[in-house]
Each structure stands twice: as structure tokens, then as C-alpha cells.
Amino acid sequence: MKKQLTYLPSVFKEFLRTCAESARAHHARIYLVGGVVRDLLLGRDVYDLDILVEGDAIRLAVAIARRRGMPVTRHKAFGTASFIFRGHKIDFAAARSETYLTPGSLPRVRKAGVTQDLSRRDFTINAMAVSLHPAEYGRLIDPCGGQEDLRRHLVRVLHSESFFDDPTRILRAIRFEQRFQFRMEAGTLFQLKRAVGSGALDTVHPHRIRDELILIMREKFPFRCLRRAGKLTGFGFLEPGVRCTPAAGRLLNRIQRLQSFFLRSFGARTEFRLWSVYFTAFLESLSLPQVEFLLEELGMDKRTRSDVRAARSLRARRRRLKAPVLSDDELYEFLHQFPLEAVAYVYAYSTNGRLRRRIRRFIDTLSHIRLRIRGRDLQRLGVTPAHLYGKILRSVLRQKIKKGFRTKEEEERYALGVAERLSRQWASGGRKKGKNS
């Protein structure tokens, strides 16, 4: 695979040379492993690296990270460590074998060699490694026939009990099948259905199910995965009411068709999460109490819970956007209180032309309007008291939307007028409060 390794971004080539040097110094052998090997063989872009270490992976990762002043996250129980290198996640893992004490539980691990490590993985297409050792640089290690299955466009598990050992592989098999537009090998499909029929997914901790769901929602085409999962597994393992109904399917499909627009409009804002929009649509068949219960059960973070609630709230209040007359500042004032994910969700949900045009105006234009002045500018201008700054800036923003201030000086002049008015009101209110106390 020397040729494929030349396709790696230059930033990775330099980094891997550093890793190889450090590995020799630590008497360890290192390999590229898993998804990165699969994607190189498929000619797909590589964004992150998984490095397998025959030796002490944590010690090696720490040594490499220290040379570059990067913090390291360690997981001693699994012999793994990771860090971020120039925006890319680098995972180091000690070669190991695994034993599952009970179905669905986390594995017990032991040190092993590269071949043993590959044989405990999920699918043949993920069970390949490439040596980075100078004497055998680029050698493909493929004990399970992954390269042939890639050629045949197959997703194949490594052994018949794989889905019982780790039932999250059921969702993973669907995700890889749909991502690459492969098909499941016949025996793998049979074993998947057998595991689903026995209730294997019910044995998995909800937080692990959550992580797999988020990975599905992060796919380029999540609707394909969810539609396939609906047919193969259903979603009763989550909550009896979760169904990929025709209405939910249409909504998910609309989001999928709109995703380029959303990413173009919001993608530069690092806080926007398209997967959260998909997740909200996925819960379309549930009532709000059922949604709240499921969010709690899955252990979703506060922001995701807030996104889902806000989307439901905006959907219920969307009539406000159908008013015959609605100025830009009123439109902004109404929509800016909701997360961008909620706005995107309701835009996809809605079919009313006027409503969609107004949300589109907010997305395309109003949501991008920013003030040139900040609190420190008000301080420089001598505006007091400081606790009024937020109110002053909000007032300036509304007026900017109305009148289109073009310069910082215009914003400052208007801010001083607002500050003077608010200061008088505040002083008057303070005196009255003093007399009555």
C-alpha cells in the first residue's frame, strides 16, 4: 500500500514519520489500522488517524504529544490515548484481544499482536492494517479478507456471535452499508436478524445506543440509514413510540435535500450541528413527554435537549411568522431567540410559502447581521452604568436591521442616544425606589 500512503495529506505524512521514529525509540511497532486503511483503499479522503501499537500505546502517544506541546487524553483500562494534531484526531491503541463477559457489556482486554487485534474487530473491511515500520513500510495486513470484501462491496462480520458480543454492531453494519452503498453479506444479514429477534439491542446501555445514533445522524445521508434500520430493527429498543412514519420520513428526506443549503448558510458557525436537526426530526412520532423521557434515558447533553425543545416550541408558535405584516426587526426579534438548529428544523418542516420565505430571509440575511461595536466601545464612550450595555446593544442591532447602519460611527451615535435615554429612566427609577424604601 505504499502508493495509497502517498495519497495521505502532507500534514499526515510528516506526522507519521515522527511517529515511526518515536516507535523505534520505544521498541514498538506501529500500524495504521481500521477505517483509515479502508478509506485509503476506497480512494476516500482521510481526516483522522487510528494508530495500532504493538507495545505501550499510551507511553508512545504521550512522548509524541510532548514533543509538540499537545495535551493527551488517556484511557488506561483499554490501553488507548488520543490527542488533536492540527485539527485532526489521532487515536493510539495497544494491540489487544477482547473477551465479552455478557452480551452488550464492555469487553475485558488483554495485550496481543496485530493479527489477533484485527480478528476481534467488527467487520472485515475494518480489520486491515498497514505497517509503518521502516523495514516493511506499506505492507498490508489483511487476515480476514477485507480487501476482497471491499472489491465485492460487502459488509461482513468476522464471526457468528459478533452481533451478540456487541449489539451496537447491528447499527454500525447498517451505517457502513448505507454510507458506501454496499450490501450485507448473506450470512451477516442472517446473523443480524437473529440478534435483533433475540432482543440483543435491549441489552446495550442507552448511552452506547446514543453514541451510535449520533454517528448515524452525522452521516452524509442519515435518512438512508434510518430507513434501513426501520426495516431491519425497528426502534422499539429506544422507545415503543419511535417509528419512522411516512411523515417523519418525508421530513428527514427534506432535511437531507436541504443540508447543502444549511451547511452553506450556517456551516461557518462552528456551533451549528446539522445532526441535531436530523435527531429532532427522528423523534417526530413522539409526544413531548415521550421525547423528554427518551432524552433523559439516552443521557443527551443539555444543548441537544435545548435544541429539541426549542424546535418543538418554534413549530408550535410558527403562526407568528404568517402575520400579514412582519418587519425585519420583528422577524429577527422572534427568530433569534431560538437555536439555529430549531430554525433549520422548522424551515424543513413547514410547507407554507410565506412562512418559508420569512425563515429563508432570516437564514440568508438577518441572522448574519452583526454589530461593529462592543461593550468595550461603550465603555470608551463613557456610557454608564455597565449593566445597561446588553440592552443598549440589542437596541442598536434592531435599529441596524431597520435602517441598515453602514459604519461603526453610526452605531456609536445611536448607542449614545439610547444610553442617554436609558440612563435617565434608570436614574429616575432609582430615585423613586429610594423614596419608597
pLDDT at position 109, please? 67
Angle CA(34)–CA(37)–CA(39) in degrees, nearest 5?
A: 105
> Quick check: is 234 in a domain?
no
Phi, psi of 262 (to 5 degrees): -65, -45
Q: What is the 3-state secondary structure (H, E, C) of the chain?
A: CHHHHCCCCHHHHHHHHHHHHHHHHCCCEEEEECHHHHHHHHCCCCCCEEEEEECCHHHHHHHHHHHHCCCCEEECCCCEEEEEECCEEEEEEECEEEECCCCCCCCEEEECCHHHHHHCCCEHHHCCEEECCHHHCCCEECCCCHHHHHHHCEECECCCCHHHHCCHHHHHHHHHHHHHCCEECHHHHHHHHHHHHCCHHHHCCHHHHHHHHHHHHCCCCHHHHHHHHHHHCCCCCCCCCCCCCHHHHHHHHHHHHHHHHHHHHHCCCCCCCHHHHHHHHHCCCCCHHHHHHHHHHHCCCHHHHHHHHHHHHHHHCHHHHHCCCCCHHHHHHHHCCCCHHHHHHHHHHCCCHHHHHHHHHHHHCHHHCCCCCCHHHHHHCCCCCHHHHHHHHHHHHHHHHHHCCCCHHHHHHHHHHHHHHHHHHHHHHHHHHHHHC
129 shares a domain with 34: yes
325 shares a domain with 387: no
Query: Can you say how many angstroms the Cα of residue 51 is from the centroid of all Cα atoms in its chain?
Result: 22
Residues composing the chain: 437
275 shares a domain with 136: no
12 shares a domain with 140: yes
Q: Is the pLDDT of residue 71 over 60?
A: yes
pLDDT per position as a tens digit, 218-232: 999 999 999 999 999
pLDDT at position 41, please? 96
pLDDT per position as a tens digit, 132-148: 988 899 999 999 999 99
> Quick check: is 50 in a domain?
yes
pLDDT per position as a tens digit, 12-44: 888 898 898 899 888 899 999 999 999 999 999
137 shares a domain with 3: yes
339 shares a domain with 212: no
> Quick check: is 259 in a domain?
yes
Q: Is the pLDDT of residue 208 over 60?
A: yes
Residue 267 — pLDDT band, cuts 50, 70, 90? low
Q: Is the pLDDT of residue 333 over 80?
A: yes
The mean pLDDT value of the chain amounts to 90
407 shares a domain with 361: no
Q: What is the mean pLDDT of residues 271-276?
A: 91
64 shares a domain with 107: yes
158 shares a domain with 118: no
Q: Is the pLDDT of residue 303 over 90?
A: yes
> Quick check: is 293 in a domain?
yes
pLDDT at position 437, please? 36
137 shares a domain with 188: no
Neighbours of 240 (CB within 10 A): 11
Supply the pTM of this predicted model. 0.85
342 shares a domain with 271: yes
Q: Work out how many domains the chain is built from and give that number.
A: 4
Q: Which residues is 53 bridged to in the sheet?
A: 30, 94
Q: Are 126 and 154 in contact (CB under 8 A)?
A: no
Q: What percent of the chain has pLDDT over 70?
A: 94
CATH classification at residue 139: 3.30.460.10
Neighbours of 138 (CB within 10 A): 15
pLDDT at position 425, please? 76
> Quick check: is 240 in a domain?
no
C-alpha cell at position 324: 400579514
pLDDT per position as a tens digit, 51-70: 999 999 999 999 999 888 89
Residue type, 391: K
> Quick check: is 237 in a domain?
no
Q: Which of 217, 235, 266 finishes a domain?
A: 217
Q: Which of 368, 392, 424 finishes a domain?
A: 368
> Quick check: is 239 in a domain?
no
Domain region containing 410: 375-436
> Quick check: is 229 in a domain?
no
Q: Which of 333, 350, 368 finishes a domain?
A: 368
Q: What is the mean pLDDT of residues 240-257?
A: 89
Which of 77 and 74 is assigned the larger pLDDT? Answer: 74
79 shares a domain with 9: yes
